[in-house]
Amino acid sequence: MDIEKFCRENCVERRGTGTLKWDSLQEIFGDSDLLPLWVADMEIQSPAAVREALVKRVEHGVFGYGAVENSYFDYFFAWQKKHHKVDLARENVRFATGVVGSLYAAVRAYTQEEASVIICPPVYYPFYDAILNTGRKLVTCELDNHNGYYTLDFEKFEKEIIDNKVEMFILCSPHNPVSRVWSEEELDTMFDICHRHGVLVVSDEIHQDFTYEGKKFVSSALVSNGKYKDILITLNAGSKTFNLAGLIHSHVIIFDKQLMAAYDAYIKGIGSPEVNLMGIVGVEAAFRGGEEWLENVKTLIIHNYNYMKQEFARELPEIIVTPLEGTYLSWIDLRGYLTGEETAGFIQNKCRLACDVGEWFSLMAHGFIRINLATDTKNVVTAVESIIKNIKEKVGE
């Protein structure tokens, strides 16, 4: 693929279009003049099929309450089957207005206040919020970092569960920000522990379509031939895959009848709307016609990753770039050159970049940054050049 041509034809200016990533820099970072590589959406236009379907719907001109048509289920199920070998039926699926909202819903539906919920940092920061903002007790089991490659210490995980009487585990699979695509064996070990100690698993699989280098995403529902379906709530969406986060539309997948009944009862109790009309239209079109687009976007992401990794390896070899197994987010350890305390300020004020910083994901991750690679290559080049130049100046090379 001609990367430059792809970027030229598909990446667009977003500043001034009411975007969180580009237009809220002042509010979030206190500085509007930064290059944003933070929140996980893209500068890449969504697939043509999506844009055409949305335009058609807009031209229809009526935006009354939506309903989900058969065709939505057909395309969604076909995608899940083809890409992830998951068989779904309608009774397993509920709609929601975002995965983060569903994390809160799951915590509230299945646990009482002060119940213990475990997560494995460094991890997507709304996981903390979903536990703390609902008055539950946060239990953490920090992942082990082996020179940039992360694993879970199962003994430590089980001990935290037992010691804290944990009732729920929120899993990130693939794992944002450390990019792990958990193997079936790893998932089996985690779930076996949960099963033995009566812990429900909420599996956030929003990044499931981004895996690389032969890494295969295994949906939690498939582990050990579906053995853990009765402790499982799976969350996914087309929103990361096709850059549709603003359409706030996602899926809650539950196989166990009792778990589904408890979820339905909870949702009924809060009177929450389920379906966003444009979300349905856009995501159905993406599952129908977005496959080739996704392949191209993944090629761009790998290109951006390889470029960044090579540049850092040559110019600043003590930067550790975590292997990109999954997601489009790169986790970078700058502690070879910067102290944990100074990294966030240095990246923002010297390098002029708006990145997610390590401490957002874990109190132990000062000195790390997360760079969003799903963008025009020129943005990655600017960021990498700025980091190299400023670190070199600092260390006096």
Nearer to ligand PLP, 98 or 122 (CB): 98
Q: Does 172 bind ligand PLP (CB under 6 A)?
A: yes
Nearer to ligand PLP, 97 or 386 (CB): 97
Q: Residue 44 phi/psi, 5° resolution?
A: -90, 130
| 269 three-state secondary structure | helix
Q: Are 56 and 278 in contact (CB under 8 A)?
A: no
Nearer to ligand PLP, 173 or 390 (CB): 173
Please return the burial class of 73, using the count of CB atoms within 10 Å of its CB with bins 0-12, 13-18 and 19+: middle
- Options 14-22, 94-102, 155-163, 361-369: segment touching ligand PLP (CB under 6 A): 94-102
Nearer to ligand PLP, 92 or 102 (CB): 102
H-state helical runs in 139-244: 154-163, 184-196
- Options 93-101, 130-138, 293-301, 337-345: segment touching ligand PLP (CB under 6 A): 93-101
Alpha-carbon span 140 to 291, nearest angstrom: 37
Q: Are 75 and 284 in contact (CB under 8 A)?
A: yes
Residue 245, amino acid: A
Q: Does 282 bind ligand PLP (CB under 6 A)?
A: no
Alpha-carbon span 245 to 313, nearest angstrom: 33
Residue 57, amino acid: R
Least separation in angstroms between residue 27's CB and ligand PLP is 18
Least separation in angstroms between residue 99's CB and ligand PLP is 4
Pick from 42, 100, 166, 181 the residue near ligand PLP by CB under 6 A. 100
Q: What is 103-126 written as a DSSP string?
A: HHHHHHHH--TT-EEEE-SS--TH
Residues 123-152 that bind ligand PLP (CB under 6 A): 124
Least separation in angstroms between residue 170's CB and ligand PLP is 10
Alpha-carbon span 141 to 116, nearest angstrom: 13
Least separation in angstroms between residue 128's CB and ligand PLP is 12
H-state helical runs in the chain: 3-10, 20-23, 25-29, 48-60, 70-84, 99-110, 126-132, 154-163, 184-196, 257-270, 277-289, 291-315, 340-345, 377-395
Q: Which residues contact 381 (CB under 8 A, 6 or more apart)?
A: 307
Residues 9-48 that bind ligand PLP (CB under 6 A): 40
Report the residue closest to ligand PLP, judged by CB.
98
Nearer to ligand PLP, 241 or 250 (CB): 250
Q: Which residues contact 298 (CB under 8 A, 6 or more apart)?
A: 210, 212
- Options 92-100, 187-195, 307-315, 376-384: segment touching ligand PLP (CB under 6 A): 92-100
Nearer to ligand PLP, 241 or 390 (CB): 241
Nearer to ligand PLP, 294 or 381 (CB): 294
Least separation in angstroms between residue 327's CB and ligand PLP is 7
Q: Does 204 bind ligand PLP (CB under 6 A)?
A: yes
Pick from 98, 121, 122, 323 the residue near ligand PLP by CB under 6 A. 98
Nearer to ligand PLP, 221 or 388 (CB): 221
Q: Does 206 bind ligand PLP (CB under 6 A)?
A: yes
Question: Is cis: bond before 174, omega within 30 of 0?
Answer: yes
- Applying CB under 6 A, the site for ligand PLP has a residue count of 13
- Structure tokens that stand for 235 in this block: 């969350």
Q: Are 290 and 50 in contact (CB under 8 A)?
A: yes
Q: Does 237 bind ligand PLP (CB under 6 A)?
A: yes
x/- mask, ligand PLP, residues 239-258, rule CB under 6 A, reads x-----x----x--------
Q: Does 324 bind ligand PLP (CB under 6 A)?
A: no
Nearer to ligand PLP, 97 or 189 (CB): 97
Alpha-carbon span 46 to 50, nearest angstrom: 6
Q: Does 387 bind ligand PLP (CB under 6 A)?
A: no
Residues at the site binding ligand PLP, with contacts judged by CB under 6 A: 40, 98-100, 124, 172, 176, 204, 206, 237, 239, 245, 250
